[in-house]
């Protein structure tokens, strides 16, 4: 298959859409972020890339805590809105009913099926974004999104994003099992 170059600003395909919770001007604030992943299994660390001009960056720097909330596809409108307006000049505290875990500075969204609470352990500044490494201190899921005691991705129904086409997607069909699908090749060795 013929390959063509597409420049250096390529994004991960696809990216999970999350709402990063913090406390801005004394109120819960949520910013849409797709630059996020786990970076370490033990301890359980999350990396999140936050625009340096955002109210969220200032709040996370100050409080050393944040939450990661996974909006479902049904919350696309609200999730998109939280990426269009800044907590610097817009109060987003009335958008969602919030709850708190161990920290008073990491508000979580009741309506999001999966919510994670993090304490900052490292901060790395780059030109346009700050990378916060957070340790997961707690996670909460809607009881209705469990199957056999485990999170069921189809019930969570997470929202995904691709760029630069700027489209939102749902999770598709289950196509196989990990640490299993490749066993056939293992036997060939």
Nearer to a second copy, 26 or 84 (CB): 84
Binding segment (CB under 8 A) for a second copy, from list 19-27, 28-36, 59-67: 28-36
DSSP β-ladder status, 15-16 and 27-33: unpaired
Q: Is 47 in the site for a second copy (CB under 8 A)?
A: yes
* Bridge partners of residue 21, in order along the sequence: 30, 67
Q: Does residue number 81 form part of the binding site for a second copy (CB under 8 A)?
A: yes
Q: Check residue 133 for interaction with a second copy (CB under 8 A).
A: yes
Which residue of 39, 61, 100, 123 would you call a contact of a second copy, by CB under 8 A?
Answer: 39
Cα 125 from Cα 141, distance rounded (Å)? 31
- Check if the beta carbon of residue 16 is closer than 8 Å to that of residue 69: no
61 binds a second copy (CB under 8 A): no
Q: Does 102 bind a second copy (CB under 8 A)?
A: no
The residue among 21 and 113 lying less far from a second copy, judged by its C-beta, is 113
Distance CA 15, CA 165 (A): 12
CB contact set of 170 (below 8 Å; sequence gap of 6+): 73, 157, 159, 160
**65 binds a second copy per the rule CB under 8 A:** no
Nearer to a second copy, 26 or 144 (CB): 144
């Amino acid at each position: 298959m013929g390959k063509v170059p597409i420049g250096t600003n390529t994004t991960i395909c696809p990216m999970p859409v999350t709402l990063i919770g913090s406390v801005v001007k004394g109120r819960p604030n949520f910013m849409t972020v797709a630059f996020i992943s786990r970076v370490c299994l033990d301890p359980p660390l999350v990396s999140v890339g936050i625009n340096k001009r955002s109210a969220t960056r200032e709040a996370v720097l100050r409080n050393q805590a944040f939450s990661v909330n996974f909006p479902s596809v049904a919350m696309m409108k609200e999730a998109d809105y939280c990426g269009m307006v800044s907590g610097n000049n817009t109060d987003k505290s009335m958008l969602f009913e919030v709850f708190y875990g161990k920290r008073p500075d990491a508000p979580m969204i009741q309506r999001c099926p999966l919510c994670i609470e993090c304490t900052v352990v490292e901060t790395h500044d780059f030109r346009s974004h700050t990378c916060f490494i957070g340790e997961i201190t707690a996670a909460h899921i809607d009881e209705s999104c469990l199957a056999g005691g485990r999170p069921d991705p189809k019930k969570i129904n997470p929202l995904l994003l691709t760029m630069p086409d700027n489209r939102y997607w749902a999770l598709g069909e289950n196509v196989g099992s990990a640490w299993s699908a490749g066993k056939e090749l293992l036997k060939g060795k």
